[in-house]
C-alpha cells in the first residue's frame, strides 16, 4: 500500500449506523524502531519494532442526540500488513486510547497487525469524577453505556471499514485483546456483539462490575502487619503442592489469628511490633470477601498470598497511610469508591467510609438493580458467539489483588452449565501466583494471543498456555492447564521447569 493513500483527503469517512462522523485525520508514521517489554503488550511476549511504517488514522464521531464525542485511533501497516486486525482494550475507567493501549498497539503494528482502540467518548479521563454525573443526582448514562458496550461494537465496525478502505479488502481475521477492563470488554463483545470479532483474548475480566469491595476505618494497623500475615500464610501453605516456589496453589486453611501477638520487625516505622487481632480480622475479611449484615456473601474474597495493602495513591484493596507517630488510616478501594459515589449514590461528595453495614447492603442491591443491564458482563449464554465460529481465551492469576479469580471461575462454570461443550470454543486458564494481568511470583502466559490465533485460524485447540514469571527472584516456567485441570508437580526434577509438571 503506497504511503500516498494515507492522507485525510484520500480516505473516506467510515460507515456506522446511528453515528455522525465529525473528523478524520491521517498521517504517515515512518521508520518506527523500538522494543515493547513483556507484560506491556497484553497477552503476548515482548515485541521488537524495526523500521515499521504505518498510517495513523484518527476519527471522531457522535451519536446524534446523545451529546457525546468518541475517538477511535487506528494504526495500519503500510508495507507489512499480515491481513489481520487486532483491537486493544482499556483498563480501569478507560475504554482504551491511553498510554498502556499505545504500548500494545506498538507491539501489534510491529507484528504486522492493523490495530486500533477507542476512548469510548471519555477522552483522557482516568476517573468518573470528570464525566460520571451530568449534575448532582443525574448519572451520565450515555457515557457509561459507551464505556460498557456501545463503543466496543462501534470500534469493530469502524476498524473493519478503515481496513477495507485502506487496503481494498477486509481483514481475514479480527481479534480483540484486553485485560481487566479490557477483559470485561472482551466478554461483553462475545455476549452482546458476537459478530464483532473472530477471536477474543479476555484476561482477568472485571465480569461483575456491579459487585465490589469496600474497606475503610478510622484507625488500622500498618501494612507491615498485613504483609507479615500474608508471609505466614505462604509459609504454611507453600509446600501443599510439593514445590517451594513461594506460591499458594490450591486450598489453604491458614487462620490469620494464629499469628496474633507474634513480634515482627515493622519496616513502616523501623521498630518491633506485635501482630494485632485487628490486622487478623481485616485479613480474614479480605480473604472471605464482603458480606451482608446477615453474613451472606456479596462477592468473593482474595487469595491468601495476595498483596492487599498499598499507599493512598495505589489501586489497592486496603490503601493505607501512616503518620510518623505510628497511627495509620485506611482509605477505600478507589474503583469501588468511585462506582458507589458517582453511579449508585449519585453524589460526588458522598463519604462511602461512613456507610453503615446496612447502608452498604442497600448500596450493593441498588448497584445490581440499576446497572446490571448496562455494564454487567456475567451473561453465560455465548451460543451466538459459538454459532458464528468465535474463539475466546481467558487467563486469570490466583494472586490478583483487584479482581477475585473466583469470579472468573464462577462465570466459566455457568457457561459450562448452559453449554457442557463450551470448551470447544472458550477456555479458562488459571495461573497460581500471578497478580493482576501480570507480575508476581506466578507465570505470565505470554503465549495467550498466539494460542488464540492458532485456535481461530488453524483449529489448534489450546490444551495449555506456555507461561513464565517475569521479574521474580527465580524465573519459573509453567504450562498453564485448561480449567479445571491444574499443573501438578511430578515429584522430581527442576521445579522451575515446565517439564517437571503435568496437567491433572
| Catalytic annotation, residues | 180, 400, 436
d(CA 162, CA 159): 5
Alpha carbons within 13 angstroms on the beta-carbon side of residue 53 total 11
d(CA 428, CA 465): 10
d(CA 399, CA 100): 22
CA distances from 30 to 26, 49, 54, 292 (A): 13, 12, 7, 57
CB 216 within 8 A of CB 243: no
Alpha carbons within 13 angstroms on the beta-carbon side of residue 412 total 25
The number of angstroms, rounded, from the C-alpha of 476 to the middle of its chain's C-alpha atoms is: 23
Sole residue written with cell 502466559: 445
With residue 159 as reference, give the H or E element that holds it. Answer: helix 151-167
Q: What is the CA radius of gyration of the chain?
A: 23
d(CA 272, CA 275): 10
194-215 b/e with 16+ CB inside 10 Å = b? bbbbbbbbbbbbbbbbbbbbbb
Q: Say how many C-beta atoms besides its own lie within 10 A of residue 66's C-beta.
A: 17
Q: Say how many C-beta atoms besides its own lie within 10 A of residue 374's C-beta.
A: 16
DSSP string of 1-25, one letter each residue: --GGG-STTTSPPP--TT-EEEEEE
Sole residue written with cell 449508585: 344
> Which residues neighbour 38 within 8 Å (Cβ) at sequence distance 6 or greater?
44, 45, 46, 444, 446, 470
d(CA 24, CA 7): 9
DSSP string of 403-436, one letter each residue: S-HHHHHHHHHHHHHH-TTGGGTEEEEEETTB-S
Amino acid at each position: 500500500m503506497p504511503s500516498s493513500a494515507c492522507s485525510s483527503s484520500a480516505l473516506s469517512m467510515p460507515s456506522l449506523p446511528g453515528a455522525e462522523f465529525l473528523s478524520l485525520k491521517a498521517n504517515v508514521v515512518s521508520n518506527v524502531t523500538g522494543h515493547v517489554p513483556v507484560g506491556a503488550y497484553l497477552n503476548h511476549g515482548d515485541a521488537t519494532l524495526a523500521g515499521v511504517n504505518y498510517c495513523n488514522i484518527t476519527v471522531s464521531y457522535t451519536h446524534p442526540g446523545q451529546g457525546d464525542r468518541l475517538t477511535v485511533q487506528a494504526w495500519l501497516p503500510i508495507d507489512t500488513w499480515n491481513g489481520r486486525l487486532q483491537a486493544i482494550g482499556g483498563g480501569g475507567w478507560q475504554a482504551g486510547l491511553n498510554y498502556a493501549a499505545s504500548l500494545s498497539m506498538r507491539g501489534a503494528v510491529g507484528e504486522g497487525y492493523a490495530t486500533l482502540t477507542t476512548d469510548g467518548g471519555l477522552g483522557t479521563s482516568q476517573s468518573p469524577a470528570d464525566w460520571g454525573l451530568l449534575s448532582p443526582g443525574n448519572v451520565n448514562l450515555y457515557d457509561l453505556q459507551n464505556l460498557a458496550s456501545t463503543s466496543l461494537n462501534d470500534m469493530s465496525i469502524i476498524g473493519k471499514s478503515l481496513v477495507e478502505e485502506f487496503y481494498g479488502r477486509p481483514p481475514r481475521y479480527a481479534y480483540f485483546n484486553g485485560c481487566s477492563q479490557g477483559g470485561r470488554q472482551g466478554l461483553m463483545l462475545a455476549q452482546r456483539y458476537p459478530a464483532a470479532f473472530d477471536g477474543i483474548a479476555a484476561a482477568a475480566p472485571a465480569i461483575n462490575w456491579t459487585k465490589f469491595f469496600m474497606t475503610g476505618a478510622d484507625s488500622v494497623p500498618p501494612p507491615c502487619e498485613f504483609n507479615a500475615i500474608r508471609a505466614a500464610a505462604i509459609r504454611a501453605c507453600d509446600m501443599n503442592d510439593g514445590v517451594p516456589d513461594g506460591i499458594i496453589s490450591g486450598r489453604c486453611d491458614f487462620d490469620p489469628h494464629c499469628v496474633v501477638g507474634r513480634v515482627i520487625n515493622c519496616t513502616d516505622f523501623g521498630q518491633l511490633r506485635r501482630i494485632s487481632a485487628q490486622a487478623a480480622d481485616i485479613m480474614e475479611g479480605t480473604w472471605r470477601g464482603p458480606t451482608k449484615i446477615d453474613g451472606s456473601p456479596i462477592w468473593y474474597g482474595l487469595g491468601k498470598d495476595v498483596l492487599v495493602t498499598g499507599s493512598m495513591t495505589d489501586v489497592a484493596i486496603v490503601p493505607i497511610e501512616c503518620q510518623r507517630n505510628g497511627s495509620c488510616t485506611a482509605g477505600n478501594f478507589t474503583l469501588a469508591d468511585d462506582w458507589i459515589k458517582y453511579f449508585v449514590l449519585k453524589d460526588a461528595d458522598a463519604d462511602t467510609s461512613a456507610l453503615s453495614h446496612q447502608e452498604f447492603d442497600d448500596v450493593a442491591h441498588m448497584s445490581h438493580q440499576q446497572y446490571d443491564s448496562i455494564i454487567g458482563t456475567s451473561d453465560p449464554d455465548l451460543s451466538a458467539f459459538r454459532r458464528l465460529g468465535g474463539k475466546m481465551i481467558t487467563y486469570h492469576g490466583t494472586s490478583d489483588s483487584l479482581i477475585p479469580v473466583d469470579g472468573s471461575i464462577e462465570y466459566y462454570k455457568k457457561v459450562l452449565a448452559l453449554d457442557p461443550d463450551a470448551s470447544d470454543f472458550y477456555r479458562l486458564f488459571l495461573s497460581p501466583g500471578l497478580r493482576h494481568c501480570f507480575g508476581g511470583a506466578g507465570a505470565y502466559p505470554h503465549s495467550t494471543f498466539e494460542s488464540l490465533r492458532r485456535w481461530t485460524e488453524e483449529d489448534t485447540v489450546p490444551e495449555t498456555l506456555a507461561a513464565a514469571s517475569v521479574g521474580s527472584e527465580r524465573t519459573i516456567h509453567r504450562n498453564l492447564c485448561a480449567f479445571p485441570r491444574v499443573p501438578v508437580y511430578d515429584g522430581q526434577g527442576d521445579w522451575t521447569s515446565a517439564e517437571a509438571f503435568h496437567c491433572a
